[in-house]
Structure 1
Amino acid sequence: MAMLTGWALYAAIFFTPFIQEDIAVIGAATASLHDAAPTALILPAVLTGLVCSDAWKYWMGRLARRYEWAHRFAEKPGVSIAGDLINKEFMQTMLTARFVPGTRIPAYIAAGFFKAEYAKYILTLTATATLYVAIMFALFHSVGAVAGEEAKIWLPVMAVLILACYVAYRWVTHRNNKAGPMTPLSEEQDHPMPDMPGFDDTPYETAETDDNKKE
């Protein structure tokens, strides 16, 4: 990518995230380090590519809500709790998706499936992408390309460690305060999934209908 020039370089920077986001950021940072193009133009190109490559994944989750297999999935114990955690701790979820390998696409699809606000999704997506790009560019320009590329390995490791500490903190506070769901395993807090047509005969929806009739 660093060997390209002009519009070919900007096009490569923009479209590479649709294939592999980390490679796109590393390539863009390398191009910036080698002065292949002004950094002031490379940065918006890679950021726009990152956001556009992930913006549509939200709608995969929304579309899935229309299908029967999604209805069966939503009936499983803990699924509604997972939705609560994503919506109530949206920033933590998106930060985890950005830095922990293997979580990005599932988290973005889940955001759509659980109907997180799309505007909030895009804003948070942009914020986490900006943070990631800023860290990578800062590393490349301060310690060089070789050490910068190694960040692809140790940044996720650090993210996993931070996530583990946060989960441990949540577990302790949940045990002490008994307030709110700690994990999707808190089955006693399951509840009907909202706005899911065709759910009248599922366990949770049936229970809710019976309660309404009693009232």
Structure 2
Amino acid sequence: MFPSLSALLASAGASPFLQALAIIIGTFILEDAATIMTAMEVQTGQVSIQLALVALYIGIVVGDLGLYGLGRLAALWPPMRRWIAVPHADGKQKGDDSQGWFGRNVFRIVFISRFIPGARLPLYTACGFFRASIGRFAVAAVMATLIWTSLLFAVSLRVGQFLIDHLGEWKWLGMAGFILTIILVGRIVATVRSPSL
């Protein structure tokens, strides 16, 4: 991921379209790493800050909507619907409870999972599967992306400048350590957080 995004951006040259495309593809692979690497490329002057942020926002929101869409598609598959729709003793379906819960908590789910690495895939697809409002989901995804990505990007710009100033050619090793730290902190937060949202 590290050299490949950098290589893609370098091969894109001065073409804003190709640079944006490379960043968007990077967000589909690993969002946080793509954000950090893009900030480093902004620091080195390879990419403009405006193009970087717009491409990151677009890529991440499109990826989030894609996960929601995968959940909706899974709900159309009869074996999956039968697996989820298990009757309770009171005659209600298990899926009915989940659908109501996801519908009521879509903003909370999106915001909490945005800040916990690894939580987006299961929770965003579950939002789609249980038919949480696509409009509310999209608004929450955009708002959470603007907050998280902007914060991570701003921190990465500062860290990137420090690494360029102090590590020179070894800056990529420092950036890999920074990415690993972000992932590990997210994992620690996820394990400390109680299971119920």
TM-score exceeds 0.5 = yes
Q: Secondary structure at the match of 1:65?
A: helix
Deviations 1:130-160 (A, max 9, x none): 2221121121233445474322322443355
Distance 1:80 1:33, change over 3 A: farther
Residue 38 of structure 1 corresponds to 48
Distance 1:126 1:159, change over 3 A: farther
Residue 151 of structure 1 corresponds to 182
More helix by share: 2
Amino acid of the structure 1 residue aligned with 2:183: K
Q: Which residue, out of 10, 24, 32, partners 2:34? A: 24
Residue 61 of structure 1 corresponds to 71
User: Unmatched 5+ residue regions in structure 1?
Assistant: 171-215
TM-score of the two chains, using structure 1 as the length reference: 0.66
Deviations 1:48-106 (A, max 9, x none): 11111222222222222332212212323654333332221112211232232332122
Amino acid of the structure 2 residue aligned with 1:134: S
User: Unmatched 5+ residue regions in structure 2?
Assistant: 89-93, 164-173
Matches within 5 A, 1:150-189: 150-158=181-189, 160-161=191-192, 163-164=193-194, 167=196
Amino acid of the structure 1 residue aligned with 2:184: I
Distance 1:119 1:93, change over 3 A: same
Amino acid of the structure 1 residue aligned with 2:116: V
CA contact 2:107–2:136 (8 Å) conserved in 1: no
Residue 154 of structure 2 corresponds to 138
Residue 107 of structure 1 corresponds to 123
Structure 1 vs Structure 2: percent identity of aligned residues? 23
CA contact 2:107–2:137 (8 Å) conserved in 1: no
Distance 1:24 1:33, change over 3 A: same
Q: Which residue, out of 14, 27, 37, partners 1:6? A: 14
Deviations 1:154-193 (A, max 9, x none): 24433554x42x94xx8xxxxxxxxxxxxxxxxxxxxxxx
Deviations 1:101-121 (A, max 9, x none): 332122121111111111211
Could you tell me how far apart the structure 2 residues matched to 1:68 and 1:137 are? 42
- Select the structure of larger CA radius of gyration: 1
TM-score of the two chains, using structure 2 as the length reference: 0.71
